């Protein structure tokens, strides 16, 4: 079949026409034949099995039964009537019920002749009944061409209202297979098909839409999922390889005085093995001729900043400047304070540039950047402004990457004749599965151990009825000189409610912890920034022992003396949020605690989240559970939710297929990077087609 045929506008398919075409475009994004072919069913109704009435269970599954109608009657009800037929097989009897079209049905039903009925069953008292069943005489049923597994396609209310039902979509697909003769060009090489025992593409597409058996359906699903994930990985790996060949970086071949002196004499603590390993990986990238493109993952408090500083010193030793960009002013300021502190006894110069830096203070920063006097610039999006010109930017570090768009990052690239080396840092642990797909074009480093002297935080789940014991515990900790966070959730819909919850909580805490013995700070969304800052500072200085707040997360405070985090209504928080909140304590040498408070009514998902938090402190394990609970779109935040617009594969459920696909894509590209060998021409051609028709996921950074 000519592949261009699949690019025919959908309106030309027999049975569609201009009106239906508009509905299909607006509701399901189906513009051409190819889009309809790739509208895969999201479940199937199994018509391969016949049930006996005696085997029926309470479930919402559709069932198929062979039997006879032995009696028909009309029953009066509050509004109008219903038609009831008694349906029987050799194991028992049940009722068939109709509320509409009774006259026609009554005239056409035949008594004591075998029928095949199909539909969902309800149970009243112990009698099963099936409303408006699909019915067919057994004699007709046996003659007909059977699609045993009935596909159910994604749809919308608007489509159904316009008469584009599941049945209509099925008919359109049948028509598409008639017009294309069911022949579709192969996209995988003979070698792959043979080695993985995959069925052909034409067979897979036929069996996914019209499966005859469960086994054929499974083969079709595996084949199509593998293909989709294989080309996704091909794109990412090829991009990474090309990047390393084409995009020259500045080789930092010196490990100079600045780096060595800092490492030997200025480090505030011994580096962990994980930090040493990551610095080694970065050094080897910076020493090669290719541009570094590395993602550094590390949990809250794992010591990413030191690694960033060491990388910056390498750049400075080689005569280049470095910059660090953070998503918020608070984070940028915190980085600036931390890094200035680490570098205070060195000759390295460092400046902060954010939206609130006054114009008069910006001018000298701009000048020193251009003449090379300034070594490190730390800031927010303000670094991307056209006025900000570097003399020679060699390394750009980006914190919390998923908050920056691709376009913003590319601006950093164009500040130079060569693009700088890029190091992306994130404290949001991204499960390996997701990292392979989202950041497959970046090299990944992980800091997976905490600095020495840090004790793991003890996490417990307590019900509201244990509140008095919790308060007693808080008192004991305050006596030891520790500080406490108490965090209330934000319910997006209603600020008034949030405020009321917070204030009720604050009042009950103030009653139990009265001044002057105890001092309490309070921080919430309706306060002016200056008031928030004042309250935060009181807590940081230790003037208040308890901080009551709606999410402290955004504040990003670092108070080593705070040892207890109490999260109220913990079931309302997501896992990653709970983990981030917990990371606000455990920053000093003392044992820290996180107490999750909830009511007794909890959903199964909430229980899983709380159990996970109590069981582990490992951010990666938590992220894996979160991914299973929420799916990939949510994890990355809304701005990234379109990221993996996969048609049939699911990177969580199909994790094993993803790993297999990555292995084969990697092997192929290492062996034949340009796909020039005769046996790989089919893959080269398919890849080019995917890119040409934008069917490949091009918005992966």
CATH topology of domain 458-616: Rossmann fold (3.40.50)
At residue 640, the pLDDT reads: 37
Q: Tell me the H-state helices in 162-213.
A: 166-179, 190-195, 201-209
- In terms of Cβ atoms closer than 10 Å to its own Cβ (0-12, 13-18, 19+), residue 113 is exposed
CATH fold group of domain 48-145: OB fold (Dihydrolipoamide Acetyltransferase, E2P) (2.40.50)
**What separation in angstroms does the CA of 455 have from each of 25, 127, 305, 610, 617?**
56, 61, 20, 21, 11
Read off the pLDDT of residues 461-484 as tens digits, 9 standing for 90 and up.
999 999 999 999 999 999 999 999
Position 158 confidence tier, pLDDT thresholds 50, 70, 90: confident
User: Rounded to a whole number, what is the distance in angstroms from the first to the last CA of the chain?
Assistant: 34
CATH fit for domain 3-42+159-212, picks 1.10.575, 3.40.50, 1.10.150, 3.30.160: 1.10.150
Residue with the two structure tokens 């303000």:
382
Q: Please report, for residues 136, 463, 486, the alpha-carbon distance to residue 38 in angstroms, rounded to integers and kept in the order given.
A: 31, 49, 50
58 token code pair: 């309470």
CA distances from 320 to 186, 251, 424, 538 (A): 50, 11, 18, 40
pLDDT at site 636: 41
Specify burial of residue 403 (Cβ count, 10 A radius: 0-12, 13-18, 19+): middle
Specify the pLDDT at position 1: 61
| pLDDT tens digits, one per residue of 616-641 | 988 878 888 887 777 654 444 333 33
So where are the chain's domains? 3-42+159-212, 48-145, 257-447, 458-616
- Please determine, looking at this structure, whether the domain spanning 257-447 carries the CATH number 3.40.50.300: yes
Enter the tokens of residue 514: 């009265």
Q: What does the pLDDT read at residue 152?
A: 87
> How does residue 491 score in pLDDT terms, banded at 50, 70 and 90?
low
Is 492 exposed, middle or buried, given 0-12, 13-18 or 19+ CB atoms closer than 10 A? exposed
Q: What percent of the chain has pLDDT over 90?
A: 45
Give the pLDDT band (50/70/90) at residue 353: very high
CA gap 669, 535 in Å, rounded: 57
Edge-to-edge strands of the sheet including 546-550?
458-463, 593-598, 562-567, 483-488, 546-550, 520-523
CA distances from 162 to 14, 24, 155 (A): 17, 10, 11
E strands present in 541-674? 546-550, 562-567, 593-598
Same fold, 3-42+159-212 and 257-447: no
| 498 phi and psi angles, rounded to 5 deg | -55, -50
381-384, Cβ contacts within 8 angstroms, sequence gap of 24 or more: 381/325, 381/355, 381/408, 382/353, 382/354, 382/355, 382/357, 383/323, 383/325, 383/353, 383/412, 384/325, 384/408, 384/411, 384/412
């Amino acid at each position: 079949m000519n592949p261009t045929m699949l690019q025919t506008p959908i309106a030309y398919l027999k049975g569609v026409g201009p009106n239906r075409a508009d509905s299909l475009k607006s509701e399901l994004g189906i513009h051409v034949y190819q889009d309809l072919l790739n509208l895969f069913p999201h479940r199937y109704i199994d018509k391969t099995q016949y049930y006996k009435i005696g085997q029926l269970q309470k479930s919402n599954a559709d069932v198929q039964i062979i039997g006879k109608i032995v009696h028909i009657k009309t029953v009066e009800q509050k509004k109008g009537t219903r038609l009831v037929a008694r349906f029987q097989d050799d194991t028992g009897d049940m009722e068939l019920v109709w509320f509409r079209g009774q006259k026609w049905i009554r005239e056409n039903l035949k008594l004591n002749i075998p029928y095949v009925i199909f539909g969902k069953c309800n149970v009243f008292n112990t009698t099963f009944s099936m409303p408006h069943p699909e019915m067919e005489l057994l004699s007709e049923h046996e003659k007909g061409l059977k699609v045993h597994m009935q596909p159910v396609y994604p749809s919308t209310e608007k489509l159904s209202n316009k008469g584009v039902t599941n049945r209509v979509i099925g008919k359109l697909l049948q028509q598409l297979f008639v017009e294309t003769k069911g022949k579709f060009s192969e996209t995988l090489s003979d070698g792959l098909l043979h080695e993985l025992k995959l069925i052909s593409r034409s067979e897979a597409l036929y069996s996914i839409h019209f499966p005859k058996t469960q086994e054929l359906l499974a083969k079709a699903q595996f084949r199509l999922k593998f293909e989709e994930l294989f080309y996704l990985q091909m794109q990412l790996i090829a991009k990474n390889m090309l990047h390393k060949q084409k995009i020259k970086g500045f080789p930092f071949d010196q490990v100079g005085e600045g780096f060595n002196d800092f490492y030997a004499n200025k480090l505030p603590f011994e580096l962990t093995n994980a930090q040493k390993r990551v610095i080694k990986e970065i050094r080897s990238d910076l020493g090669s001729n290719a541009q570094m493109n590395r993602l550094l993952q590390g949990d809250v408090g794992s010591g990413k900043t030191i690694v960033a500083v060491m990388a910056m010193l390498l750049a400075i030793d080689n005569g280049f400047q470095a910059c660090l960009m953070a998503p918020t002013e608070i984070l940028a300021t915190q980085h600036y304070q931390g890094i200035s502190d680490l570098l205070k006894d060195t000759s390295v110069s460092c400046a902060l540039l954010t939206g609130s830096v006054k114009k008069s203070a910006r001018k000298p920063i701009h000048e020193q950047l251009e003449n090379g006097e300034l070594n490190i610039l730390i800031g927010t999006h303000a670094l991307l402004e056209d006025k900000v010109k570097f003399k020679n930017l060699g390394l750009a570090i980006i914190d919390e990457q998923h908050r920056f768009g691709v376009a913003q990052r590319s601006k950093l690239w164009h500040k130079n004749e060569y693009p700088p080396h890029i190091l992306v840092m994130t404290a949001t642990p991204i499960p390996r599965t997701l990292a392979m797909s989202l950041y497959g074009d970046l090299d990944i480093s992980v800091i997976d151990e905490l600095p020495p002297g840090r004790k793991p935080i003890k996490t417990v789940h307590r019900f509201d009825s244990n509140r008095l014991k919790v308060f007693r515990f808080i008192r004991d900790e305050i006596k030891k000189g520790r500080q406490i966070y108490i965090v209330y959730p934000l319910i997006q819909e209603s600020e008034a409610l949030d405020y009321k919850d917070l204030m009720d909580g604050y009042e009950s805490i103030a009653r139990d912890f009265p001044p002057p013995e105890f001092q309490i700070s309070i921080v919430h969304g309706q306060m002016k920034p200056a008031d928030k800052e004042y309250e935060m500072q009181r807590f940081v200085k230790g003037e208040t022992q308890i901080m009551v707040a709606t999410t402290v997360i955004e504040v990003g405070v670092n108070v080593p003396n705070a040892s207890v985090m109490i999260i109220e209504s913990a079931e309302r928080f997501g896992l990653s949020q709970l983990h981030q909140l917990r990371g606000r304590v455990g920053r000093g040498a003392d044992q820290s605690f996180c107490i999750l408070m909830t009511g007794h009514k909890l959903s199964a998902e909430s229980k899983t989240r709380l159990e996970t938090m109590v069981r582990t402190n490992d951010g990666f394990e938590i992220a894996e559970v979160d991914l299973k609970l929420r799916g990939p779109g949510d994890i990355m935040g809304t701005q990234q939710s379109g990221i993996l617009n996969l048609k049939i594969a699911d990177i969580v459920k199909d994790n094993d297929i993803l790993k297999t696909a990555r292995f084969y894509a990697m092997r192929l590209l290492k062996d034949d990077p340009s796909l020039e060998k005769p046996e790989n021409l089919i893959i080269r051609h398919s890849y080019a087609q995917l890119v040409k028709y934008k069917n490949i996921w091009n918005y992966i950074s």
